[in-house]
Amino acid sequence: MKLQRKNRLRALSLGAVAVSGALALTACGSDDTSPAGDSGSASASAPKAGSIKCDDAKGQLQASGSTAQKNAIDAWVKAYRTACPEVQINYNPTGSGAGITAFTQGQTAFAGSDSALKPEEVEESKKICTGGQGIDLPMVVGPIAVGYKLDGVDSLVLDAPTLAKIFDSKITKWNDEAIKKLNPEAKLPDLKIQAFHRSDESGTTQNFTKYLKAAAADDWKYEAEKSWQAKGGQSAQGSSGVAQQVGQTNGAISYMELSYAKDGISTVDIKTEAAEPVKATTENATKSITEAKIVGTGKDLALELNYTPKAEGAYPITLVTYEIVCDKGNKADTLPAAKSFLTYIASEEGQGLLTEAGYAPVPEEIITKVRETISGLS
């Protein structure tokens, strides 16, 4: 299946599949980070390989939010604009919280967020979604890797209680007994742990702390919020910010999307109730996300994730990034472009691009509903 998707993608155009975190969006903000037709069927909103439908799409499409999905957006925009050059997509990776605020203030056509809209945010969205409201469309699945840099230690296993204590400044040295017990073969240094967290409001933070709260309730007493709640540690802006700090600091550790764990950053294997520790991979994230349940009502497709999977190879720290858009009342001048772009990224072709970018596609039974919902946006 992976090979088939790659072949379909190559058919789009030469160079359209060059996936890199360094890809630049046209007129994109700083990185610290046509309608698909009248049919409401899933097939109407799922273009085949090389058949991105531009229709009446043109002009500028402003969007902002999640830094977690930036590398996916970069790849999607590169492929989409090859087919629809009259559409200029400006995605500013400001963080989930800022993205939702910009959307509810009517500044963007859609927002990217690693957590679903809260009830109060839905109410706020009704002011700009004439006759409708903001809805959550799950579009990207990705493991939240625990990235670290520790000279001489290339493999590291941690569990939820130990992670909770590290990020709550209760475990402060790499040769702590709790870490040594999980890694009896490792040569752990007598070195201070430098734990980094996000300084901005982030759905990645919320998902990471949801995991800690679910899997280490006795050791993590904070609420799971977009803003970091625990005391101590150091902070950095955006996924790229924490990744940069970890990559250049021996003894550092942080949480970030897998696509950012590169350039000398190693990833922690997570000890779960399964027999073997689980590596942070897109395949293992997919095993976990298959247990997700749709809990949104109406056209909203918000998901409830299982942060304590027991299945072998199911990676427990996984997030879903939503594209947030009005179900009704979208601006007439941006609706064709928004609908065309969202249709593409939800298509088999668009979802097929995710694995190469370090993410996982949304399970078929869920993405089918996403396609149907996009076809009915107005």
Query: In the structure, what pLDDT confidence band is assigned to residue 8 with cuts at 50, 70 and 90?
Result: very low
95-130 pLDDT tens trace:
999 999 999 999 999 999 999 999 999 999 999 999
Domain with CATH 3.40.190.10 in the chain: 2-141+295-305+321-375, 144-284
Check pLDDT > 50 for residue 21: no
Give alpha helix (H) positions in 31-183: 70-83, 96-104, 119-125, 160-167, 177-182
Check pLDDT > 70 for residue 10: no
Query: In the structure, what pLDDT confidence band is assigned to residue 286 with cuts at 50, 70 and 90?
Result: confident
Q: Which of 133, 106, 140 is nearest to 298 (CA)?
A: 133
Give alpha helix (H) positions in the chain: 2-10, 70-83, 96-104, 119-125, 160-167, 177-182, 203-215, 238-247, 282-289, 335-346, 348-352, 364-375
Q: How many angstroms separate the CA atoms of 294 and 315, rounded?
A: 19
What pLDDT sits at residue 357? 86
What pLDDT sits at residue 51? 60
Check pLDDT > 80 for residue 153: yes
Domain 144-284: give its CATH superfamily: Periplasmic binding protein-like II (3.40.190.10)
State both tokens at 363.
């399970």
pTM for the model stands at: 0.76
319-348 pLDDT tens trace:
999 999 999 999 999 999 999 999 999 999
Tell me if 59 sits within 8 A of 92, measured CB to CB: no
At residue 154, what is the residue type? D
Rounded to the nearest 5°, which phi and psi values hold at 237? -85, 125
Rounded to the nearest 5°, which phi and psi values hold at 362? -70, 135
Which residues have C-beta within 8 Å of that of residue 135, sequence separation ≥ 6? Answer: 117, 296, 298, 299, 300, 301, 324, 325, 326, 327, 373
User: Percent of the chain having pLDDT more than 90?
Assistant: 79
Check pLDDT > 70 for residue 224: yes
The alpha carbon dihedral of 77, 339, 56, 131 has a sign of negative
Across 161-177, average pLDDT: 98
Across 169-184, average pLDDT: 98
Rounded to the nearest 5°, which phi and psi values hold at 257? -65, 150
Instruction: Calculate the alpha carbon distances from 8 to 12, 42, 247, 351 in Å.
Output: 7, 19, 35, 11
Tell me if 328 sits within 8 A of 110, measured CB to CB: no
35-80 pLDDT tens trace:
333 333 333 333 443 468 898 899 999 999 998 899 999 999 999 9
Mean pLDDT, rounded, of the chain: 87
**DSSP tag of 356:** G
State in words which class domain 2-141+295-305+321-375 has.
alpha beta
Cα maximum dimension of the chain: 64
Check pLDDT > 60 for residue 32: no
Check pLDDT > 70 for residue 149: yes
Query: In the structure, what pLDDT confidence band is assigned to residue 179 with cuts at 50, 70 and 90?
Result: very high
Query: In the structure, what pLDDT confidence band is assigned to residue 255 with cuts at 50, 70 and 90?
Result: very high
Check pLDDT > 80 for residue 26: no
Q: How many angstroms separate the CA atoms of 162 and 178, rounded?
A: 7
